[in-house]
Amino acid sequence: MDKLTPLIETLRNYINDKKEKYLMVKNTFMQLDLESIRDIYNNIVEENPSIIGKQMNILQTEQLFNKFFLLGESGSGKTTALKYLCYRKLQALSNKDFIHDSDKVPIFIELSMFDTIHRKFWIIESIKNEFHPYIKDSHNTVLYLLERGAFLLIFDGLNEVPKRFIRKAIKEIKELLIKYPKNKFIISSRTLEYSEYFNLKNMIIKKTKIV
């Protein structure tokens, strides 16, 4: 029996619980008028267009690129778009009869909370904590799932990491990118300042009037 099979029900419980958490983001979208929804859905462009030249929404962007940097000024809607992406991915997974290797479970990490004083490997510990209520041996299980490429890892707000921890945060993310390349990665930040540390596609989210 595949080692992943006993984890399917655990992943499903996690998916259903997290879907409820991000439901409020979906409700925010539902309250917007059609023009506003169109604005926030289609306000992402490539920094240096090479594949397509049109604006995209966050769902299209995630489908097109396995790993990318999402850049945008304060209030441009980065966090809202990424949480909405989480909701849509979780909703799709919750409606499936079986979770396949190609399915990616979204993990949303708020980098503003980064703190290596209390946790040596903050990002891995944060992912483990996401699954702690569902799995007894969350450490080994999370490492196994990372190796399988089971996750869409979303690191929100690299620019919000406390300055004294920024080098460590960049190092941890780069190590994950190298060690677990089968996963999908999205990193968001306000400026290009930190994107130069990563060999990723830069996507720009344009500020709209509704966020």
Average pLDDT, rounded, for the chain: 82
Q: Answer whether 185's CB lies under 8 Å from 155's CB.
A: yes
Q: Is the pLDDT of residue 76 over 90?
A: no
Could you tell me what percent of the chain has a pLDDT over 70?
79
Q: Is the pLDDT of residue 36 over 70?
A: no
Q: Answer whether 206's CB lies under 8 Å from 43's CB.
A: yes
pLDDT, tens digit, 9 for 90 and up, residues 88-138? 898 888 887 777 767 899 999 999 999 876 677 899 999 998 888 887 777
- Residue 40: pLDDT band (50, 70, 90) is low
Residue with token string 């059609």: 34
Q: Is the pLDDT of residue 174 over 50?
A: yes
User: What is the phi/psi pair of residue 203, to 5°?
Assistant: -115, 135
- pLDDT score at 208: 61
Q: Is the pLDDT of residue 38 over 90?
A: no
What's the whole-number mean pLDDT along residues 160-178?
94
- Residue 1: pLDDT band (50, 70, 90) is very low
Least confident of 28-37, 63-72, 123-132, 183-192: 28-37
Q: Answer whether 146's CB lies under 8 Å from 196's CB.
A: no
Q: Regarding predicted confidence, which is higher, 44 or 65?
A: 65
Report the distance separating Cα 186 and Cα 70, nearest Å.
Answer: 7
- pLDDT score at 93: 87
Q: Answer whether 185's CB lies under 8 Å from 127's CB.
A: no
Q: Regarding predicted confidence, which is higher, 31 or 23?
A: 23
Residue 194 CB partners (closer than 8 Å, separation 6+):
158, 159, 166, 170
- Residue 167: pLDDT band (50, 70, 90) is very high
What's the whole-number mean pLDDT along residues 69-94?
87
